């Protein structure tokens, strides 16, 4: 695994703030020339540190007024049954995240929908019809206090 030095971390901080920055702009900000900056970014992509570049949308303004977290307990937790569930739920466009948990629930999913009617339809037509689901509990998001995707590196922190 690649060790991230402080220059790599500064590059990553810049890209997380604005992934549309040109390599030339990044190079100027970190004090390198174009080629070594380009190579560092390329190496971090190849190492899987940079997975992809995306545009972050505001769900409300994009017409998705409802967000919910749904905790799910499966009836059976065999590896095969876990993979089947993950494929069934992970392929749904309204599901933004699927995380496997320790503790009371097996999974937590983050779901967006246009409104409560659409969310209810998702629950009754999708969730309730997955055969291995034992229980599910929905938690409707009332407001988002913090929404961040950036992993912040502190100066001189070796990773």
Entry pTM: 0.84
Pinpoint the residues of the chain covered by CATH 1.10.10.10: 6-46
Judge contact between 127 and 70, C-beta under 8 A.
Answer: yes
Domain 6-46 has CATH 1.10.10.10: yes
Burial 119-128 (b: 16+ CB within 10 A, else e): beebbeeebe
Residue 158: predicted pLDDT: 53
Judge contact between 106 and 35, C-beta under 8 A.
Answer: no
Residue 17: predicted pLDDT: 94
Residue 101: predicted pLDDT: 96
Residue 157: predicted pLDDT: 53
Q: 122: closest CA among 106, 107, 138?
A: 138
Q: 70: closest CA among 32, 121, 105?
A: 105
Ramachandran region, residue 129 (left: φ > 0; alpha: ψ -120 to 50; beta: rest) = alpha
Pick the CATH number of 66-140 from 3.30.70.920, 3.30.465.10, 2.40.50.140, 3.30.1050.10: 3.30.70.920
Pinpoint the residues of the chain covered by CATH 3.30.70.920: 66-140
Q: What is the pLDDT along the chain (159 residues), one digit of tens a residue?
A: 678 999 999 999 999 999 999 999 999 999 999 999 999 999 999 999 999 999 999 999 999 999 999 999 999 999 999 999 999 999 999 999 999 999 999 999 999 999 999 999 999 999 999 999 999 999 999 999 999 999 988 765 555
């Amino acid at each position: 695994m690649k060790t991230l030095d402080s220059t790599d971390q500064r590059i990553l901080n810049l890209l997380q703030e604005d992934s549309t920055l040109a390599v030339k702009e990044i190079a100027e900000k970190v004090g390198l020339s174009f080629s070594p900056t380009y190579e560092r970014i390329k190496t971090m992509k190849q190492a899987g540190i940079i997975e992809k570049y995306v545009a972050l949308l505001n769900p409300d303004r994009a017409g998705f007024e409802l967000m919910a977290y749904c905790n799910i307990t499966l009836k059976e937790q065999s590896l095969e049954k876990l993979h089947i569930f993950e494929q069934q739920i992970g392929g749904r466009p309204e599901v933004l995240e699927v995380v496997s948990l320790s503790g009371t629930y097996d999974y937590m999913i983050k779901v967006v929908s246009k409104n409560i009617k659409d969310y209810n339809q998702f629950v009754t037509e999708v969730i309730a019809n997955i055969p291995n689901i034992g229980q599910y509990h929905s938690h409707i998001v009332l407001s988002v206090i913090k929404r961040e995707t950036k992993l912040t590196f502190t100066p001189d922190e070796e990773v």
